């Protein structure tokens, strides 16, 4: 499979970038987030949706966050940078959480795992796993009961 404008870079984890693809991203939390902290992170991640990226599904659990999305393009036709959006949301949520708790560091690990979703079968598999994760974690009886799960209306 060939991707348009494909690039690879590596931090602690490998990161692939391409135009016109769907991404799956996840990151762990240094400690379990309480309900208010999950809401703070959830709101920050959704803030750029519809502007810099289109979120298909997002779930913030106490110990991990997962989402799938497609990047939008800026005024010059270049896709927005995934890391800038995700890490920016983590940074803003982290500052708010640190302010409330007095902790020294934000409760998120610095790097996120991201992956290009290669086909519809993989998209569906990941989507079902994300939507089912609040039930699997025994945080809700039904996915729609979990406050920090968001599914795009057209998904």
Residue 151: its pLDDT value, please? 97
Domains identified in the chain, total number: 1
Please determine, for residue 4, whether its predicted confidence score (pLDDT) is greater than 80: no
Residue 79: its pLDDT value, please? 86
Please determine, for residue 18, whether its predicted confidence score (pLDDT) is greater than 90: no
Residue 48: its pLDDT value, please? 87
Please determine, for residue 155, whether its predicted confidence score (pLDDT) is greater than 80: no
> Once rounded to an integer, what is the mean pLDDT over residues 14-40?
90
- pTM equals 0.90
Strand duo 4-10 + 113-117: pairing:
unpaired
Strand partners, 8: 16
Residue 122 CA to residue 95 CA, distance in Å, equals 34
- CATH number at 111 reads 3.30.70.1290
How sure is the predictor about 31, in pLDDT bands with cuts at 50, 70 and 90?
very high
Least confident stretch, 12-16, 22-26, 66-70, 97-101 = 12-16
- For the chain, what is the mean pLDDT? 91
* Interval 56-106: pLDDT, tens: 999 999 999 999 999 999 899 888 888 889 999 999 999 999 999 999 999
Residue 19 CA to residue 45 CA, distance in Å, equals 21
Domain extent for 15: 4-151
Residue 101 CA to residue 121 CA, distance in Å, equals 41
Alpha helices in the chain (DSSP H): 35-47, 82-101, 120-136
Tell me, what DSSP letter sits at residue 111? -
Please determine, for residue 1, whether its predicted confidence score (pLDDT) is greater than 70: no
User: Tokens 């750029």 label which residue?
Assistant: 48
Q: Which residues of 37-72 are buried (b: 16+ CB within 10 A; e: fewer)?
A: bbebbbebbeebbeebbbbbbbbbbbeebbbbbebe
């Amino acid at each position: 499979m060939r991707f348009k404008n494909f690039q690879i870079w590596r931090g602690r984890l490998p990161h692939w970038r391409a135009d016109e693809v769907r991404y799956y991203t996840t990151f762990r939390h240094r400690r379990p987030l309480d309900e208010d902290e999950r809401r703070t992170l959830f709101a920050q991640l959704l803030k750029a949706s519809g502007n810099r990226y289109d979120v298909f599904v997002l779930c913030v659990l106490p110990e991990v966050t997962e989402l799938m999305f497609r990047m939008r393009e800026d005024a010059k036709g270049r896709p927005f940078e995934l890391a800038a959006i995700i890490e920016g949301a983590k940074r803003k949520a982290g500052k708010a959480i640190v302010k409330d708790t007095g902790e020294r560091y934000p409760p998120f690990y610095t790097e996120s795992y991201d992956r290009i979703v290669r086909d519809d079968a993989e998209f569906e598999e990941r989507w079902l796993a994300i939507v089912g994760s609040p039930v699997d974690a025994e945080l809700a009886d039904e996915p729609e009961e979990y406050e920090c799960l968001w599914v795009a209306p057209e998904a």
